[in-house]
Amino acid sequence: MIILLLNVQERIFLNFNFEFKIMKRILLFPTFLLAVISNSYLHSQTPNHVFDKSDSVIIREVYNMALSEGEAYENLRYLCKEIGARITGSTEAQMAVEWGQKIMSEYGFEVSLQEITVPHWERGTKEAFWIRDNNGTVYKLNGLALGGSVGTNGILRGELIVFDSLEELKNASEEDVKGKIVFVNQHMNEKHIQTFKAYGGCYPVRGNGASEGAKKGALAVIIRSLGLAIDPHPHTGSMRYEDGVNQIPAAAISTLDAEFIADFIASNPTEKLEFILEMDCKKLEDKTSYNVIGEISGNTKKDEIITIGGHLDSWDTGEGAHDDGAGVIHCLEAMRILKKMNYKPKHTLRVVFFMNEENGNMGGKTYAKWVKEKGEKHVAAIESDRGGFAPRGFTCDGNDTQLTWLKAQAPLFDTYDLHVFDKGYGGVDIGPLKNEFSEIALFGFVPDSQRYFDMHHSPNDVFENVNKRELELGAGAIASFLYLLDQQFE
């Protein structure tokens, strides 16, 4: 009766409002369904939140602590400046292990060392590179031996032959290559928006170039550094020798020098260049080293482990600030923040400083086998090994349900400028866990990648090139994500 008394305008408004509410519910249903699917498998309906607060409030407090009371930047400074570059098998690597053990103990974690056997390669003291033109003029180049390369046994000289790609070298005749020094001037593809895709496309040049050259009788193989910037900083990195193939020296020169050689040849197409190099790098006997492990014991799910970590070792050039000092500091700081907040986790949370990711991954491989043999149950792992730049999100190497869970977390991070919540790679160190625990979810922390390969494996990877606020934001993101994993994973 009341409705009948309404005027026409009021009836129109009432009908519109009713229809709007119905439509709103329909539009919101997919989001609701996504949350239900995620919760039905992974999320407790009555989560044991610390301080009885909502997830969004806890995340805000985590970020506040990371940005206003953070210790990440000072810890990274100490690792880079007081210890320095930490190539596997070096004294600096051992000092970093001892530092990691000490600081984890100071933060109140349960700390242990896991013994591992690691390869030992040393760069040596001699590293020199030149080209000489027909007039006898020499031009000094900026170069680095690739990790694992043999030395030159004195000065090595040879006519330079240039290829624009590894495929060109593979397709070349033995007659053209034999007795010469090969230069592979393959560029990282700048058209890729995600720079790690560009890096992946060029990695075989560094990894396989020496063996491909040796198959055709080359004296040595030189590559263009794997970086997008044109600068004087050469980039090292691991290479490998193929079984049964002669082992020849391998090195990288800076992108600036690569451009110089290309321009010189373009301007003097009939000119023959001589390449001259000396390196006394060598492989030594394997050594004993350690993964550094810190734990916060869980309560209701104490026997289930969530691992977070990065690699403590670095290359011997620069200071390993972004690769991967930032990663181990991210994870250390994430655990410190949760501990400082008096958070009582459900699962046992474990931070691992892995040793030997750069040239063997013995830390990751040994850890995965060790925890399996102990009979532990591992439900998830997070790795930070893409630099200390502004955070963008997380990727998941897992099943469809785990990926659905990851995507459902996106709204919580919207105000923190994180938008990548997709299927993707977890990381080198945590990757072997997949071989031992087939159902484990591996998550990779994704920061902005545009500047990473300006520093990667080069003398440019120093503490001064890490932004304090970006590092702290990364620690806040990982601490928040770790909290959500602990609360919601069954």
- The full set of domains in the chain, from first to last, is 50-121+284-488 (3.40.630.10), 124-280 (3.50.30.30)
Whole-Å CA distances, 199 to 167, 213, 263: 16, 21, 24
What is the model's pLDDT at position 53?
76
Q: Is the separation of the CB atoms in 479 and 462 below 8 Å?
A: no
Comparing C-alpha atoms, which of 320, 310, 357 is closest to residue 455? 320
Comparing C-alpha atoms, which of 451, 439, 444 is closest to residue 385? 444
Give dist(CA 203, CA 197) in Å, integer.
Answer: 10
Give dist(CA 251, CA 258) in Å, integer.
Answer: 12
From the number of C-beta atoms within 10 Å of its C-beta (0-12, 13-18, 19+), residue 299 rates as exposed
What is the model's pLDDT at position 52?
56
Give dist(CA 326, CA 473) in Å, integer.
Answer: 12
**Tokens representing residue 264 in the block:** 């010189």
Give dist(CA 356, CA 286) in Å, integer.
Answer: 12
DSSP letter (8 states) at residue 238: B
Where the chain has pLDDT below 70, the residues are 1-52
What is the model's pLDDT at position 47?
40
What is the model's pLDDT at position 234?
98
Give dist(CA 413, CA 465) in Å, integer.
Answer: 26
Task: Kindly compute the dihedral angle of the four CA atoms of residues 312, 318, 322, 327, in this order, to the nearest 10 degrees.
Answer: 10
Strands of the sheet containing 377-383, edge to edge, are 110-122, 282-296, 347-354, 301-311, 377-383, 441-447, 391-397, 420-423
Q: Is the separation of the CB atoms in 360 and 421 below 8 Å?
A: no
Whole-Å CA distances, 353 to 105, 336, 473: 14, 14, 20
Give dist(CA 423, CA 444) in Å, integer.
Answer: 10
What is the model's pLDDT at position 89?
97
What is the model's pLDDT at position 22?
41
What is the model's pLDDT at position 41?
44
